[in-house]
Structure 1
Amino acid sequence: MSRKESLKIKAGERSRDIGGWLSVGVDLAGSRKNWTGLCKMNANLFCETSKVKMEEEIIQYILDADPEVVAVDAPLCMPPPNTHLRKCDRCLVEMGIHVLPPTLLGMKMLTKRAMNLKEKLLEVGYRVIEVYPTGSLKILGLPERKFGVEDLKKKLLEIGVRGLKREGLESVHEIDAVLCALTGIAYLTGKYIEIGSPEECTLILPSPDFLSYITRSLKT
């Protein structure tokens, strides 16, 4: 039985005209009442974005894209008992990057949902990594989202991300999903930093030279 059949979800064919999707980014919401941003990206940094609410829709999107890696913006594990931060969270703090403890009430809901999603995806053979768009922005020197996403979107277009709408804004959730997918590409190309502890879980950030590397690759 294939991994698609095991989930009992009818999957679409992988897009072949643009070389196939390599990375899917998931800006996961803590509740199905709120939007989850999704992005699929190929080796040429062409992307398509969407937003959904239900777990079944998230899984369907991933199955249709059939990527090499799924990059999730949400904690994929809880910290050890009687602590509030995981090792990867402490590493982010040491880098000057703000984090929310997974033990906060709203974050607990998000973490539980993320862990359930990861388990389902691992069962059918997908690689799942935890990413953090705020950290990716800082390392890559991209504009912060707190002033809106338009400047960030312009910068993403400048570095070679294709498929974003030049007029009309994608939601902040979709833009975060683009950053997740881009970090997934960094992971696949080996241009990444892994922080945290394998005994808990690790978090993936792009390496500082990722943008120069990918820009050179797109020109060749």
Structure 2
Amino acid sequence: MLNHKPFVVVGVDLAGSPRRPTGVCVLYGIKALTHIAFTDEEILNPIHQTQPDIVPIDAPLSLPNRRKTIHDRSGEHLRDCDRELQKRGIRFFPVTLGPMRMLTERGIALKGKIEEMGYRTVECYPGGAQDVWGIPRQRRDIKGLWLGLKKLGVRGLTETMTGDELDAVTAALVGRWFLLGKGEMLGGEEGIVMPSDNRKSKT
């Protein structure tokens, strides 16, 4: 039997400002190692060190149609992937909403840096993935989220992990499922990676 190298995924729960904490999770197979980062350099360092198969980021990484920049007032408010989330009854904030503009700008810039390093970067939405998996979002029940991720098979979780770190774990797990063929890209190649809606699946 061939021994296949486990997938390495770096999940990022990005903050709009480097003054606020960003959760980072390196998922080796199903074992999670997390930390808090602030600067882009602190986010990029573990990516450089671990050479991941994919980097899912919890931040908008594309703009709505006919918008050249996030500050462009013309064009649409929703992307194709946002409309897919709407159809599935998943709550989200549009990228054109005030606080989301800074996050979108940082996310797109960070994606460019990671892809320059040679790693595939995709957008994900931990809150939406948690809805699909039937586990709580961090703002509703952080302990329930911790337990839910543990039940999904993630190892290495500690009770001291912050909500940002648990969302980064979620992002990494979504990336793993996608690599295993248990995920889908909503809205085309520039869309959002989501887990397949099969809540009985394990990692």
Same fold (TM over 0.5): yes
Q: 1:185 aligns with which of 164, 176, 180?
A: 176
How much is the aligned-residue C-alpha RMSD, in angstroms?
1.6
Q: Does the aligned pair in 2 maintain the 1:91–1:196 contact within 8 Å? A: yes
Q: Which residues of 2 match residues 75-86 of structure 1 at below 5 A?
A: 75-81=60-66, 82-86=75-79
Residue equivalent to 1:47: 32
User: Per the alignment, do residues 67 and 86 of structure 1 end up closer, same or farther by CA in structure 2, a change over 3 Å counting?
Assistant: same
Aligned residues: 191
Q: Percent identity?
A: 39
2:196 match: 207
Q: Distance in 2 between matches of 1:112 and 1:37?
A: 18
CA distance in 1, matches of 2:188, 2:201: 28
Task: Say which SS state the counterpart of residue 161 (structure 2) adopts.
Answer: coil
CA contact (8 A) 2:81 2:188 kept: yes
1:68 maps to 2:53: yes
* Structure 1 residue 23 displacement after superposition: 0.5
Shift of 1:66: 1.4
Counterpart for residue 38 of structure 1: 24
Deviation at 1:211, TM superposition (A): 5.1
Alignment of 1:162-201 (within 5 A): 162-165=155-158, 168-198=159-189, 201=190
CA contact (8 A) 1:192 1:210 kept: no
Q: Deviations over 1:195-216 (max 9, x none)?
A: 1134xx11110112375253xx
- For structure 2, the residue ranges without an aligned partner over 5 or more in a row are 67-74
Read off the aligned partner of 1:57 and give its amino acid letter.
E
Counterparts of 2:99 and 2:105 in 1: how far apart (Å)? Answer: 10
Normalising by structure 1, we get a TM-score of 0.82
1:141-185 CA distance string (max 9 Å, x none): 1123232210111122222211111xx431110000000000010
Distance of aligned partners of 1:138 and 1:65 in 2 relative to their CA distance in 1, 3 Å threshold: same
Query: Matched residues in 2 for 1:158 and 1:206: separation?
Result: 16
Say if 2:7 and 2:176, in contact at 8 Å, map to a contact too. Answer: no
2:12 to 26, 29, 36: 26
Match of 2:42 in 1: 57
Distance verdict in 2 for CA 1:204–1:46, change over 3 Å: same
Q: Distance in 2 between matches of 1:164 and 1:101?
A: 31
